[in-house]
């Protein structure tokens, strides 16, 4: 027998940037009995969550819901609109952008990767992993493509490996300025429902997301938000697809059903999450995460450690990456914080392995849970012998005290 209560006293501080701590209200909703997914009650649930998720994506157009992690929705997005061997332009902003590129290559697509080309004295080996997508670079590349061979431009909205949130509206403007017909595909797996994301207003063709981040659910659901152009493209796209096909879902979803078995209990959770988020209002949700990000960055600045995101205009409201001094193993620091203080931080991924850790400020958080997590970080950094310029905990306390809360999430629970 495996005891699933891994953290027996108090709550474990799950401070990774997803999966996030799940509010009790959502856990409770998911514990209701599973119902017949072809029955009348399910149809009502299906219609509700499909309508709610459109509001979260800020779209009037259909949103596909898959019982899959985010990677499934990456694949679904590509295979519904691309032909074998199609050319896709992908922007490498970090680890998740590069994983998406690998997945696209495995589907047989011709992937072209572009990235920030400037230098970085703090992280000379990976300057692009401190920056967002560069709209001018995208425009220039599309202008060279006179034959319009590029089928899609793929950008990660909130790069979870770095804590950089790219300006998607500016990417859309770049595509339009180049008068290029490429579809805009955006991974907002960790952005949706914490960082501002406006599917229709920003002209995104396929928005990709997952349940385990801003929606505060466990992993297991992912989404494709569509545009009319994406739906048109899917009707003639020839990349093989069956399970992922939008066509059958577009037929069955209007009545609240799916072509195969949906994950009923996660959809209960989704319904509850949408009630919480929409009940509060998306503007308040964005403001809350942005404020948490500011408080956490106040702490990191007071420690005197570099923030992974080098562009202050693109600081993520979802997570903050903390770069450690050269020679310090960030995973060893994380291990101390985990073992001594029962707090999980995000590891450095790919090129950033061992160089940095990530503090998530999303999900079922509050000022005080974040203060506790920052205390764990500060104690762990000191125990690991990292020289700190000052107390990040004091700086974050001052920040939170000086900036009033916009109705905390827990008041809705
Ligand atoms: C930005 C981003 N894209 C894609 C993924 C992959 O999603 P999943 O691990 O749910 O398959 C993640 C996971 O953390 C992510 O943060």
Residue 156 alpha carbon, nearest atom of ligand 1: 1
CA nearest neighbour of 162 among 3, 43, 318, 34: 318
Can you read off the two tokens belonging to residue 335?
Answer: 């291990």
Give the Å distance between the CA of 92 and the centre of ligand 1: 14
Rounded to two decimals, the pTM is 0.97
Measure CA 226 to chain center. 17
Count of H-run helices and E-run strands, the chain:
13, 13
Helix (H) or strand (E) holding 300: helix 282-303
Can you read off the two tokens belonging to residue 31?
Answer: 């514990």
Give the Å distance between the CA of 54 and the centre of ligand 1: 20
The pair phi, psi for residue 390, each rounded to 5°, is -170, -170
The span from the CA of 74 to the CA of 333, in Å, is: 32
70 touches ligand 1 (CB under 6 Å): yes
Percent of the residues in the chain that have a pLDDT greater than 90, as a whole number: 95
96 touches ligand 1 (CB under 6 Å): yes
187 touches ligand 1 (CB under 6 Å): yes
Q: Which pLDDT does position 1 carry in this prediction?
A: 82
CA nearest neighbour of 362 among 222, 220, 195, 207: 195
Give the Å distance between the CA of 90 and the centre of ligand 1: 16
> Among 96, 186, 192, 197, which residue has the most ligand 1 atoms within 8 Å of its CB, making it the best to mutate?
96
Tell me if the bond preceding 243 is cis, omega within 30° of 0: no
Print pLDDT tens along the chain (413 aa): 888 888 778 889 999 999 999 999 999 999 999 999 999 999 999 999 999 999 999 999 999 999 999 999 999 999 999 999 999 999 999 999 999 999 999 999 999 999 999 999 999 999 999 999 999 999 999 999 999 999 999 999 999 999 999 999 999 999 999 999 999 999 999 999 999 999 999 999 999 999 999 999 999 999 999 999 999 999 999 999 999 999 999 999 999 999 999 999 999 999 999 999 999 999 999 999 999 999 999 999 999 999 999 999 999 999 999 999 999 999 999 999 999 999 999 999 999 999 999 999 999 999 999 999 999 999 999 999 999 999 999 999 999 999 987 654 545 44
Q: Which pLDDT does position 5 carry in this prediction?
A: 81
- Tabulate helix, strand, coil % of the chain (nearest 5): 45, 15, 40
270 touches ligand 1 (CB under 6 Å): no
Kindly report, residue by residue over 163-212, the tens digit of the pLDDT: 999 999 999 999 999 999 999 999 999 999 999 999 999 999 999 999 99
Give the Å distance between the CA of 159 and the centre of ligand 1: 9
Can you read off the two tokens belonging to residue 82?
Answer: 């691309």
285 touches ligand 1 (CB under 6 Å): no
**CA separation (Å) from 182 to 91, 108, 174, 231?**
14, 18, 11, 14
Percent of the residues in the chain that have a pLDDT greater than 70, as a whole number: 98
192 touches ligand 1 (CB under 6 Å): no
Residue 72 alpha carbon, nearest atom of ligand 1: 11
Q: How many Cβ atoms are within 10 Å of 203's Cβ, its own excluded?
A: 17
Q: Which pLDDT does position 406 carry in this prediction?
A: 60
**Eight-class DSSP state of 352:** G
DSSP state string for 31-88 = TSPP--TTSHHHHHHHHHHHHHHHHHHT-SS-EEEESS-HHHHHHHHHHHH--TT-EE
Give the Å distance between the CA of 39 and the centre of ligand 1: 32
Give the Å distance between the CA of 391 and the centre of ligand 1: 32
Give the Å distance between the CA of 71 and the centre of ligand 1: 6
360 touches ligand 1 (CB under 6 Å): no
Q: Which pLDDT does position 37 carry in this prediction?
A: 98
> Among 160, 186, 206, 362, which residue has the most ligand 1 atoms within 8 Å of its CB, making it the best to mutate?
160
Q: Which pLDDT does position 413 carry in this prediction?
A: 46
> 238 near 196, Cβ under 8 Å?
no
Long-range own/partner contacts, residues 30-36 (CB < 8 A, 24 or more apart): 30/218, 30/265, 30/266, 30/268, 30/269, 30/272, 31/265, 32/265, 32/268, 34/264, 34/265, 35/264
Q: Which pLDDT does position 274 carry in this prediction?
A: 98
Q: Which pLDDT does position 221 carry in this prediction?
A: 98
The span from the CA of 191 to the CA of 159, in Å, is: 8
Contacts of 191 (CB under 8 A, 6+ apart): 157, 158, 165, 197, 209, 213, 214, 318
- 3-class DSSP state for residue 161? coil
Give the Å distance between the CA of 315 and the centre of ligand 1: 19
């Amino acid at each position: 027998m495996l005891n699933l209560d891994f953290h027996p006293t108090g709550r474990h501080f799950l401070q990774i940037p997803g999966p996030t701590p799940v509010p009790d209200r959502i856990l409770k909703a998911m514990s209701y009995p599973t119902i017949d997914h072809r029955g009348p009650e399910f149809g009502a649930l299906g219609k509700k969550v499909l309508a709610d998720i459109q509001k979260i994506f800020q779209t009037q157009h259909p949103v596909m819901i898959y019982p899959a992690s985010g990677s499934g929705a990456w694949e679904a997005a590509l295979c519904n609109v691309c032909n074998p061997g199609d050319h896709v332009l992908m922007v490498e902003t970090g680890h998740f952008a590069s994983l998406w590129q690998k997945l696209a290559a495995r589907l047989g697509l011709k992937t072209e990767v572009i990235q920030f080309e400037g230098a970085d004295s703090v992280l000379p080996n990976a300057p692009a992993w401190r920056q967002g997508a560069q709209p001018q670079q995208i425009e220039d590349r599309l202008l060279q493509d006179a034959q319009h061979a590029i089928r899609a431009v793929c950008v990660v909205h909130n790069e979870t490996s770095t804590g950089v949130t790219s300006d998607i509206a500016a990417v859309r403007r770049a595509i339009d300025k180049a008068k290029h017909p490429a579809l805009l595909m955006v991974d907002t797996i960790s952005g949706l429902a914490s960082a501002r994301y406006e599917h229709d207003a920003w002209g995104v063709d396929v928005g990709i997301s997952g349940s385990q981040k801003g929606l505060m659910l466990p992993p297991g659901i992912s989404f494709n938000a569509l545009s009319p152009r994406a739906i048109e493209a899917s009707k003639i796209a020839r990349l093989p697809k069956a399970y992922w096909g939008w066509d059958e879902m577009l037929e069955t979803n209007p009545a609240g059903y799916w072509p195969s078995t949906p994950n009923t209990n996660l959809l209960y959770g989704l319904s509850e999450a949408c009630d919480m988020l929409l009940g509060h209002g998306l503007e308040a949700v964005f403001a809350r995460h942005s404020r948490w990000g500011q408080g956490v960055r106040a702490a990191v600045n007071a420690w005197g450690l570099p923030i992974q995101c080098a562009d202050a205009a693109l600081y993520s409201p979802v997570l903050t990456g903390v770069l450690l001094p050269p020679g310090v193993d960030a995973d060893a620091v994380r291990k101390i914080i985990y073992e001594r203080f029962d707090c999980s931080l995000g590891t450095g991924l790919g090129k950033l392995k061992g160089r940095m850790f990530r503090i998530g400020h999303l999900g079922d958080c509050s000022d005080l849970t974040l203060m506790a997590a920052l205390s764990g970080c500060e104690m762990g950094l000191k125990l690991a012998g990292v020289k700190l310029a000052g107390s990040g905990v004091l700086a974050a306390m001052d920040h939170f005290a000086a900036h009033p809360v916009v109705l905390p999430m827990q008041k809705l629970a």
